[in-house]
Amino acid sequence: MTNQMTPTMDEQARAILRGNDRGGYTVPTSGLYPYQWNWDSAFAAWGFATFDVARAWVEIETLLSGQWDNGMVPHILFHRPDPGYFPGPDVWGGVGPVPSSGISQPPVAASFARRVYDMDPDASREALVRIFPKLKAWHQWFMDWRLDQGAVCITHPWEAGRDNTPDWDGAMAGIDPVGVGDYTRRDTSHVDPAMRPTKYDYDRYIWLVQLGRRLNWGDAALLKQNPFRVADPTMTFTLLRAQRDLAALGRALGEDVGSIDAAIQELEAGAETLWNPDLACYDARDVRSGKWAGCVSNASFLNWYAGIDHPGMVAQYDRITSICKYPVPSHDPSSDRFDPKRYWRGPTWGIMNALIGLGLEECGHTDRAEALRQTTGELIRDHGFAEYFDPLTGRAAGGGTFTWTAAVWLGWTSPSRPKGAS
């Protein structure tokens, strides 16, 4: 029986989603991130679908309402002005139908759309018919503008959603942020600066935004002039998975999915170009310099999620999970660049764990998948719905009452998650 004074974890998670709902879209957490973020919304849809399928579709449709003419779906939609976040719409100068940033984010929306659809096909069909061409155009934009030997590249660290990971250290060092000017960060007034990227990082983030804006976010111009171009496991594996899910959705609708199937083959070949033989792991590759990042990150382990069961990755996974109590860390704890509190340079993220866990399970590594589900559930139960966690102690870090952590609870770690959610 539920004690009325103490809400259950499920009730708390649902209350977070509702509390972060701004009418048609959710914010990742109030204060720190007051707008709609791309991959956060896809996770939010997953969470909503466990108790309100119609609301899940609204989340995805609102995200796609920001799609640009070239097919790109921005990483932030600034539906309503809010001075609490920097850089805002005036700095970005996005050129789409809704004020937005000028870059994208890991395309997990089609994959969560498939999950929502599978949970209730009848209630989902109309929305699916509307969004299918939009998702297809977005994926095609990646295929047209972002491939290097079939692997998907990012043009800004924020695009991979793993902002300050050591994966980009080499490429970031190649940027001289000359003329970036003065600006005031807002993130460090919400969160302990030791848990956030440094000024060195921010100068380069803003410099890259200014460059994109100067080029009016033209894809061809950016391809030529942007010094930051890194082939990234997050993007490559999530797009590969998303294309597989989109093809399945297309078949359910009776659509021709020939071009999506061709893209899947190209991305499968591209994923193999991210295998770093010296590291014995999937790695990021700096396209401008041709150098490997040399990083075992949580994105390295998205291979299973993409349907690739590389035997070498099991050995890496077992090594990494044996050296920290709360895996999967965003950077290898045995590396001298590991920092257990600083954002994507060490902490564990529930969303990455969910993607890794879903992939492990689908590839038949069920014991590992179940163990990861358990430790992630324990982290959230014992330390709260935090943005991320210290992988050594489990301590909560970053923002609190976080939408995607609540969604991961509802869709993946809750003992009472509905059948079909995960």
Cβ–Cβ < 8 Å for 394, 384: no
Site map for ligand 9WN, 285-324, x if CB under 6 A? ----------------------------------------
Q: How far is the CB of 188 from ligand 9WN (least distance, A)?
A: 11
Site residues for ligand 9WN, window 185-244 (CB under 6 A)?
187
Among residues 161 and 391, whose Cβ is nearest to ligand 9WN? Answer: 161
DSSP line for 323-391: S-SS--BSS-TTSTT--TTSTTSS-B-HHHHHHHHHHHHHTT-HHHHHHHHHHHHHHHHHH-S-SEE-T
Residue 394 contacts ligand 9WN per CB under 6 A: no
Out of 163, 203, 232, 361, name the contact with ligand 9WN by CB under 6 A: 163
Q: How far is the CB of 275 from ligand 9WN (least distance, A)?
A: 24
Among residues 38 and 276, whose Cβ is nearest to ligand 9WN? Answer: 38
Q: How far is the CB of 40 from ligand 9WN (least distance, A)?
A: 5
* β-bridge pairing 285-286 and 36-37: unpaired
Cβ–Cβ < 8 Å for 272, 240: no
Among residues 75 and 136, whose Cβ is nearest to ligand 9WN? Answer: 75
- Both tokens of 3, joined, read 């004690």
User: Which region, judged by CB under 6 A, interacts with ligand 9WN, from 52-60, 123-131, 155-163, 168-176?
Assistant: 155-163
Q: How far is the CB of 158 from ligand 9WN (least distance, A)?
A: 4
Out of 161, 212, 359, 377, name the contact with ligand 9WN by CB under 6 A: 161
From the CB of residue 11, how many other CB atoms can be counted at a distance below 10 Å? 11
* CA nearest neighbour of 275 among 318, 243, 237: 237
Give the total residue count for the chain: 422
* CA nearest neighbour of 329 among 300, 305, 358: 300
Single out the catalytic residue among 163, 232, 283, 339.
163
387 catalytic? Reply is: yes
Among residues 141 and 158, whose Cβ is nearest to ligand 9WN? Answer: 158
Query: How many chain residues interact with ligand 9WN (CB under 6 A)?
Result: 10
Cβ–Cβ < 8 Å for 249, 284: no
Among residues 33 and 132, whose Cβ is nearest to ligand 9WN? Answer: 33
Site map for ligand 9WN, 37-76, x if CB under 6 A? x-xx----------------------------------x-
Out of 25, 33, 217, 292, name the contact with ligand 9WN by CB under 6 A: 33
Q: How far is the CB of 419 from ligand 9WN (least distance, A)?
A: 28
Among residues 37 and 326, whose Cβ is nearest to ligand 9WN? Answer: 37
Residue 28 contacts ligand 9WN per CB under 6 A: yes
Q: Angle formed by the axes of helices 109-119 and 233-253, to 10°?
A: 40
Question: Between the CA of residue 339 and those of 39, 163, 202, 388, what are the distances in Å?
Answer: 24, 14, 18, 13
* CA nearest neighbour of 174 among 253, 318, 290, 48: 290
Q: How far is the CB of 108 from ligand 9WN (least distance, A)?
A: 11
Cβ–Cβ < 8 Å for 408, 350: yes
* CA nearest neighbour of 85 among 403, 399, 406: 399
Among residues 217 and 275, whose Cβ is nearest to ligand 9WN? Answer: 217
Question: Between the CA of residue 120 and those of 83, 233, 241, 255, what are the distances in Å?
Answer: 39, 31, 21, 20
From the CB of residue 417, how many other CB atoms can be counted at a distance below 10 Å? 15
DSSP H stretches of helix in 50-145: 53-64, 89-92, 109-119, 121-145
Residue 142 contacts ligand 9WN per CB under 6 A: no
Q: How far is the CB of 300 from ligand 9WN (least distance, A)?
A: 17
318 catalytic? Reply is: no
**Active site residues per annotation:** 163, 387
Interface with ligand 9WN (CB under 6 A): 28, 33, 37, 39-40, 75, 158, 161, 163, 187
